[in-house]
Structure formats: C-alpha cells, structure tokens
Amino acid sequence: MTDHGQPQVTGGSSGIGKCVAIECYKQGAFITLIARNENKLLQTKKEIEKYSVNDKQVVLCISVDVSKDYGHVENVLKQAQEKLGPVDMLVNCAGTSITGKFEDLEMNCFENLMAVNYLGSVYPSHAVIPTMKERRMGRIVFVSSQAGQLGLFGYTAYSPTKFALRGLAEALQMEVKPYNIYITVAYPPDTDTPGFAEESKTKPLETKLISETSSVCQAEQVARIIVKDAIQGNFNSYIGSDGYMLSILTSGMSPVTSITEGLQQMVCMGIFRIVGLFYLGSFDSIVRRCMIQREKSESTDKTE
Ligand SMILES: NC(=O)C1=CN([C@@H]2O[C@H](COP(=O)(O)OP(=O)(O)OC[C@H]3O[C@@H](n4cnc5c(N)ncnc54)[C@H](OP(=O)(O)O)[C@@H]3O)[C@@H](O)[C@H]2O)C=CC1
Ligand SMILES: CCCCCCCCCCCCCCCC(=O)[C@@H](N)CO
C-alpha cells in the first residue's frame, strides 16, 4: 500500500484535466498524465512540478489515444501502475467538442465524438476497475457537461456523448459500490480552456447566446470542485447556482450520497421545473429570433 494518492488523469495535459492534476499534486499525490501530444505532456509535467509539496513526488506522462485500441490503453495504464503503484483515482477528462447545426455536421463528427468522449472514458475505466475491486477502494470520475444534462441548439453531436457517460456512471456505480468504489459525474458549465477557445471559433450564434445564460468558469475552480467531490465520494458534481438547479432537476434515478441531497431534490424539483420551463422558453425565442434574422439577411442579399 502506498501512503500517497495516486491519480491517473486522462486529458491531463490541458484545461480542466491539467488543473485537476495540479490540484491533486498540491495535495501530495503521484500523478499520471494521459494524452496524445508528447510535447504538451512534457510542458505540463514541468508546470505541475512547480507545485510539489515533497521531494519524492513524481509526474509520469503517457502518450496514448484513449479512444483507439483498448488493448494498448490497458497495457500502458498497467505499466504506469507497475511504476507508481496501484491507482486510487481515475479522472476521465479527455474529451473534445464540435458544435454546429445537425445537418451541417459531417457523419465523422458524430463518430469521433462518441469515440473520444464516451469510449475514451470506458477504456481507461475498464482497465483500472479490476485492481480497484481487488483493493476494495477507488474513485472514478467522468467529466460530463451541463450539455450532458439538457440538449441545446448546436450540440447534437456532443450532448449525446455526455448523456452516455451518465448512463455508464449510474450502472457502474451500482456494480462497484459494495467494493467501496465511488463514481463521480461532473457537469461543468462553459469553462475557460484551450478546448473551449477552439470550440468557440465555429459555434453557431444561437449556441453562444443560449450558453451566455450561465457564466464562463475558470478551470482551476472547476477542478477544485471535481477533486473535492471525488474524494468525498459524491455521485453528482456541479458548480454554481444553475449547476445546482440542473443537478436537482435532472437527478432522475441517480444515486444520492446523503440524506440532505435526497431531501433537497424532493423539495426543490417542482419549483426548479417551473424555472427550467422559463429558461426553455427563452432559448426557443433566441432560436426563432436568429432564424428570422438569417432569413431577412438572406432576402436582402438576394435583392441587392
Ligand atoms: N471547457 C469547457 O467549456 C467544458 C469542458 N467539458 C469537458 O471537460 C473535458 C476537458 O475539456 P477542456 O479542458 O476544455 O479540453 P482541452 O481541449 O483544453 O483539453 C483536452 C485534453 O484531452 C486530451 N485528449 C483529447 N483527445 C484525446 C484522445 N483521443 N486521447 C487522449 N487524450 C485526448 C488533450 O490532449 P491531446 O490533444 O494531446 O490528446 C488534452 O489534454 C472534456 O471532456 C470536455 O468535454 C465539460 C464542460 C465544459
Ligand atoms: C433550472 C434550470 C436552469 C437551466 C440553466 C441552463 C443553462 C444552460 C447553459 C448551458 C451551457 C452549455 C455548456 C456546455 C459546455 C461544454 O461542454 C462545452 N463548452 C465543451 O467545450
């Protein structure tokens, strides 16, 4: 047994994943970063090492595509455990987003996003579960999104991949709870990261306007909450007041981690549904206004 934490973070070389790794490193953990680009990994390793709290701490980098070859993913994760000891927390943060109107998105967008965001979380989780079960301890985090709690204009390729994580998390939690393994699903809002900047370049106007409903968060803040909820073993991890409302509203048949959480859901669900319907009404009117604007500018283009 090791006396320090041992998290593996996929997508640990950028954005939310990098901040999750820093947060754990500051708490004395030995970190494994998993992503594809080696240069980005090495650069991040250096950045993380600045936060060391003791001189034994290690940051290990693994360059692998988490969505491609399961056998390979399994092998490299096992090798990392041989070097650093058994993993006690896996944070599935590798993911990407493509926005656009359904008919404008190429078929490979749907295929790629499902591969990276969904299978890219299934593979590493499947690789670490046997050791966690043997040791009767562990934490697995799935980074979903607010777009994994409700479907919004522009997210027809992305949202389903984030909804899928929720289904996986619920089913898996029921299997592994007796082994003292706890699953956390995080639903962050828009967060200021390189991935978000990239997504914003091609985002439809409707999606931008709708997303402005909740403000853009800092990756450090999102990461702090994710790590805290994972350590506490909370199934639901949300941020901010709209995150709170969405989590209550979409709690469905998901497990609760405390009696207070269950009570809050029972008391607030109805009232949040009313609030939610007002939001949906305003989103519909954004979509309609944008459509009218477009049609107007198209007809003036034609007459010119
Ligand atoms: N930023 C936001 O607004 C929000 C993000 N999220 C989710 O949070 C997660 C992180 O997002 P964010 O920090 O913005 O993303 P970034 O694009 O900043 O970072 C993504 C990370 O994932 C890695 N990655 C991407 N594809 C693969 C792959 N196939 N195999 C291995 N590693 C991969 C990247 O490294 P490399 O490219 O080198 O492989 C990088 O380290 C994603 O799942 C995203 O959907 C959820 C809600 C909001
Ligand atoms: C009572 C109910 C309140 C409802 C409030 C709803 C607010 C919805 C705003 C959703 C913004 C979408 C975030 C997607 C982030 C993401 O995953 C991408 N940025 C990834 O790059």
Question: d(Cα 174, Cα 176) in Å, to the nearest integer?
Answer: 6
CB of 167 within 6 A of ligand 1: the answer is: no
Residues in the chain predicted with pLDDT less than 70, given as ranges, are 1-4, 304
* Residue 12 domain flag: yes
* Residue 269 domain flag: yes
Asked about 144 being catalytic, the answer comes back as yes
Which is the catalytic residue, given 118, 123, 158, 187?
158
CATH code at 18?
3.40.50.720
Question: Residue 214: its pLDDT value, please?
Answer: 87
Which is the catalytic residue, given 13, 14, 125, 144?
144
* Residue 240 domain flag: yes
Strands 89-92 and 191-192: unpaired
* Residue 258 domain flag: yes
* Residue 280, helix vs strand vs coil: helix
* Residue 85 domain flag: yes
* Residue 297 domain flag: no
* Residue 294 domain flag: no
Q: Which residues contact 284 (CB under 8 A, 6 or more apart)?
A: none
Identity of the amino acid at 144: S
Question: Residue 304: its pLDDT value, please?
Answer: 66
Question: Residue 4: its pLDDT value, please?
Answer: 65
Q: State the distance from the centre of ligand 1 to the C-alpha of 35, rounded, in angstroms.
A: 9
Q: State the distance from the centre of ligand 2 to the C-alpha of 249, rounded, in angstroms.
A: 14
pTM of the entire predicted model: 0.97
Question: d(Cα 149, Cα 162) in Å, to the nearest integer?
Answer: 8
The encoded tokens of residue 233 equal: 């073993």
Range of the domain at 155: 7-279
Asked about 162 being catalytic, the answer comes back as yes
Q: Among 211, 271, 287, which residue has the most ligand 2 atoms within 8 Å of its CB, making it the best to mutate?
A: 211
Question: d(Cα 59, Cα 31) in Å, to the nearest integer?
Answer: 5
Number of domains, the chain: 1
* Residue 186 domain flag: yes
Identity of the amino acid at 226: I
pLDDT tens, 158-208? Answer: 999 999 999 999 999 999 999 999 999 999 999 999 999 999 999 999 999
**Among the atoms of ligand 1, which is closest to the Cα of residue 115?**
29
Strands 59-63 and 31-35: parallel
CB of 62 within 6 A of ligand 1: the answer is: no
Asked about 158 being catalytic, the answer comes back as yes
